[in-house]
Chains A and B, each alone.
Chain A
Amino acid sequence: MDNDVFDQFIEQLQRYVRERLIPAEKAIIEADAIPDDILAEMRDMGLFGLTMPEEYGGAGMNIAQYVRTIRELSYAMPCYRSITSINIGMVCSALKRGGTDAQKAEWLPRLAAGEIASFGLTEPGSGSDSAAMQTSAVKSGNGWVLNGTKRYITNAPFANVALIMARTNKEALPKNAHVSAFIVPMDTPGITVGKSDKKMGQAGSHIADIIMEDVKLPADALLGAEGGGFVMAMQSLDNGRLSVGAAAAGYARRALDSALRYANERKAFGEPIANFQLIQQMLAESEIEIYAAECMLEDACRRADAGENVLRKAAAAKVFATEMCGRVVDRVVQIYGGAGYLAEYDAERFFRDARIYRIYEGTTQILQLQIAKHMLREWAAQA
């Protein structure tokens, strides 16, 4: 997308976030749901189609533009990103990579128009070790039959379609070639969705189990090659990690701005607490770290857009940005003092909402392992 168009969009989005999305937060927390009128507006704004190519009704953003947009959107509470990001992140990216023309023509316009998507990788018995999944896809006639349970699946209660990872081979194969990806309409017989799980934070966003019992799918439900699902999922997760990093950076900025306001309003010992150097240190440290995360994200995106393999850098940016966000929201609670512990003020929910960023789409530990593995492999190749 042209930069002048993008700049104009960012300006509108910043206003939309501050004038509409943020004022709606209180109501969303109470109802634990995004109101229909806001959801309709988000669709009209084009937020579900950021990354889809223009010929499929999307905006054709590159990775840098997409990730910047997520950062701006994430100045508001996290559920706004959750509802859109599986579409424009994981599922769109997998379709663009592995989809046939017919699959793209069928799904990309629907997703760009705002049908809601889920991405099913995690299971009751496998999370970080996702290749150990038990969900099976067995060939039957021309099509496939799926059985198994996916756990903690974002958007499951209202998704129209899910990208489901399932094993197409009983044995674990090298490069995880026992895993394939399937596009599954959620109204297919045999699918049930569990109750929404109660979570620590991120009100308005929902996760649940997807239970599949003899779910019959046509041959063209397979996305990409048989056995190519895991590689595709991992490649899509590169984008996903940049998106989570951007969510953390955007939300850290929101929390810091809120602390800055509070520090100027709250008085102790006869003056605003912002005058105290120990408060200033917390503000400055947060500012420095947010800036660092923003720079990492921008660099990783620029490289990804230039065609570089950013596995290591996307993982690094995700780990840094999400751990950083954790430190920032912790300081923000501290700056708020006792008020920071009360549900009446924002600091407390910033603290709860931010916690998941260090866990999903690759925990900090798993990504550290990946980064180290990559470094060691590179070292060995050069030695």
Chain B
Amino acid sequence: MKILVPVKRVVDYNVKVRVKSDGTGVDLANVKMSMNPFDEIAVEEAIRLKEKGIATEIVVVSIGVQQSQETLRTALAMGADRAILVVTDVTTESLTVAKILAKVAAEEQPGLIILGKQAIDDDANQTGQMLAALLGWPQGTFASAVVPNGDRVAVTREVDGGLETVDLKLPAVVTTDLRLNEPRYASLPNIMKAKSKPLASKTPADYGVDPTPRLTITKVVEPAKRSAGTKVKTVDELIEKLKNAGAIA
């Protein structure tokens, strides 16, 4: 089975982002960029399925600026087999990405697409769902376990009420949650080997998709500063305070 893993280049999770003074977005100049952590988990899961002999080939794909190549190289160094870069300089919106991925999937015919449940830059949490809808494939989102079995896959999902397992028919779309696995580091020998793995360069036009954004950002602001909390000694005091604050009647 072939597995397709989309990965996104995002601001590194350790970076404290700042809003640009003109409020048009966050400042990305000289900011460290990395693979979206949820996508790392997706790559790791695909590699584990390959190590178990369930997957035969892992194709990673990224849609974004030219430098997303570095993100793909990291995925190749972790253990993916080949990469596709769809180059575009415009801000990628979930639906654009989902449309391109649907076309890539039509071409590649993977048995499984594993992607991050969200990217930590805009936290939209919708690309996987949109992709499943466009393809008409079943989806298992927020996965904490992925167990393929013949032409089906059991996906354990982290939902508000606890855990839920769905049994999907392949091909299917799975989105990863944090506890699915702990991604490996790319080792030096594998980074060296990854250099000779194939990386195809494409454009949205190759897939017949117009990447022009459909949304406009009107303003970006810092979250409001939270004021310090107060400690209460008893439940009575808590209720009293909540009443005074008008939080409860």
Contact = CB atoms under 8 A, between A and B. Distances in A.
Interface of A: 1-2, 4-5, 8-9, 11-12, 15-16, 20, 41, 44-47, 49-50, 54, 59
9 contacts: A8-B191, A12-B185, A12-B187, A20-B185, A45-B185, A46-B187, A47-B188, A49-B189, A59-B189
B191 A44 contact: no
A46 B77 CA distance: 13
Contacts of A11: 34
Nearest to B73: A8
Contact of A15 (B73, B185, B188): B185
Interface of B: prevailing SS: helix
B187 A45 contact: yes
Interface in B67-86: 70, 73-74, 77
Contacts of B159: none
Interface in B184-222: 185-189, 191-192, 195
Interface string B161-197: 0000000000000000000000001111101100100
Nearest to B74: A8
Nearest to A16: B185
Contacts of A47: 188
A120 to B, nearest CB: 28
A65 to B, nearest CB: 11
A5 B189 contact: no
Contacts of B185: 12, 15-16, 20, 41, 45
B12 to A, nearest CB: 9
A45 B195 contact: no
Given A9-B191, A12-B185, A15-B185, 14 more contacts: A5-B191, A8-B70, A8-B74, A11-B34, A12-B77, A12-B187, A41-B185, A45-B187, A45-B188, A49-B188, A49-B189, A50-B188, A54-B192, A59-B188
Contacts of B188: 9, 45-47, 49-50, 59
Nearest to B192: A5
A207 to B, nearest CB: 28
B187 A5 contact: no
Contacts of A41: 185
B237 to A, nearest CB: 28
A41 B186 CA distance: 11
A46 B195 contact: no
Contacts of B195: 2, 4-5
Interface of B: 34, 70, 73-74, 77, 185-189, 191-192, 195
Contacts of B189: 46, 49, 59
B40 to A, nearest CB: 10
B191 to A, nearest CB: 5
B68 to A, nearest CB: 14
A44 B73 contact: no
Looking at B70, B74, B186, which has the most chain A CB atoms within 10 Å of its CB? B186
Nearest to B188: A46
B192 A1 contact: yes
Nearest to A45: B187
B14 to A, nearest CB: 9
Nearest to B193: A5
Contacts of A2: 195
Contacts of B70: 8
A2 B189 CA distance: 13
Given A2-B195, A8-B70, A8-B73, A44 B187 contact: yes
Contacts of B34: 11
Contacts of B191: 5, 8-9, 12
Nearest to A19: B185
Given A1-B192, A2-B195, A59-B192, A8 B187 contact: no
Contacts of A54: 192
Q: Which 10 A-B pairs have the closest CB atoms?
A: A46-B188, A45-B187, A16-B185, A12-B185, A46-B189, A12-B186, A59-B188, A9-B188, A46-B187, A8-B191
Nearest to B190: A46
A20 B189 CA distance: 19
Contacts of B192: 1, 5, 54, 59
A49 B189 CA distance: 9
B195 to A, nearest CB: 6
A54 B74 CA distance: 21
A49 B191 CA distance: 14
A4 B77 CA distance: 13
A204 B88 CA distance: 49
A12 B75 CA distance: 12
A5 B190 CA distance: 10
Contacts of B74: 8, 12
Looking at B73, B74, B185, B195, which has the most chain A CB atoms within 10 Å of its CB? B185
B90 to A, nearest CB: 26
Contacts of A5: 191-192, 195
Nearest to A69: B188
Contacts of B186: 8-9, 12
A8 B191 CA distance: 7
A276 B70 CA distance: 42
Contacts of A9: 186, 188, 191
